[in-house]
Structure 1
C-alpha cells in the first residue's frame, strides 16, 4: 500500500517540511558564518500537501535540517512496510545550504525508497514552501507546496 506523501516521486513531498528563509537574509547569514542565526525565520513545523507528515526544521550546525515530528497512522504503517521501524524522529531534510533568492539546496531522504535525493526549497511566503526534488541529474522532478502549521494535526 502506498499513501500520498510516501509513494515514489513523493520524495519531494517529504522533503517538504523544509525551511523558509529569505534570500538576502540567508546570504548575509552565510557570509557571516551562519550557525543557529542562519536559520532564523526558517524554524517551524511544515505539513505536506496530503496532511500525512509534519516536519520540524531547525539548525544542524551551520545548515538547516528537518525531522519528522508527526505522521498519520497510514504514513507510519507505509513506512514500516517499507522497512522503516520508526518514522517519528527520522531526519528527512539533510544539510540544506542557502543559495540566495529565498532558495536552499540539500538532500531529502525518502524512507520508502531507502535513498536520498538532491532537493531545493524555495520560500513562497511566510507560510508556504515549494519543495522540488529530482531523481536523476535534474530529470524526473516533482514539486509540492508545503504549509507552515502552529500545532500538530489530529487524526
Structure 2
C-alpha cells in the first residue's frame, strides 16, 4: 500500500476513535420524571416549564404536612452545566422561596435551598422513583 494512503487511513481511524470516545462523555443527564425524597416523605415530578424545569409535589406520606399535592416546589431551574441546575426552591414548611441548586448523579438528585448568596443551604437527597 502507498505511504500516503496509509497515512490517510491512520488519520481517519484517529478521528473516528476521538469522536466515539468524546461522544460518550458529552451526554448530559436529564432530571425530568418522578423523584422520591430519601426519607420517603414525598415525591415530586420535574417537567419542562418554558425553557426551564419545574417540580410539583405529586405524593405525600403525611397528610398533616404544610405541603400539599400539586404545590410547586422548584421553578425556573435552568441548566448550569451537564449535571446541575440553578433556580428557585420553595419550602412549604416555612412558606419561603430560596435560591435553588440541584445536582444529578445517576439516580440520585441533591437539591439545595440557600440564603445569603449560598452561605447557608439546606440539602435534600432524592432518588429516581420507578
Structure 2 matches for 1:24-103, cutoff 5 A? 25=27, 41-73=30-62, 76-79=63-66, 87-103=68-84
Q: Name the residue aligned to 2:8.
A: none
CA distance in 2: counterparts of 1:93 and 1:54, whole angstroms: 13
Higher strand share: 2
Larger relative CO (CA 8 A, sep 6+): 1 or 2? Answer: 1
Segments of structure 2 that go 5 or more residues without pairing to the other structure are: 1-24
CA RMSD across the alignment: 2.0
Which residue of the other structure, out of 97, 103, 109, is the alignment partner of 1:122? 103
Query: 1:138 Cα shift?
Result: 1.5
- Please give the TM-score of this superposition, normalised by the length of structure 2: 0.73
- Please give the TM-score of this superposition, normalised by the length of structure 1: 0.62
Segments of structure 1 that go 5 or more residues without pairing to the other structure are: 1-22, 27-39, 151-155
Offset from partner CA, 1:62-116 (integer Å, 9 cap, x none): 110001000012xx3131xxxx6xx100010111000114110011101121110
CA distance in 1: counterparts of 2:94 and 2:51, whole angstroms: 28
Q: Name the residue aligned to 2:117.
A: 137
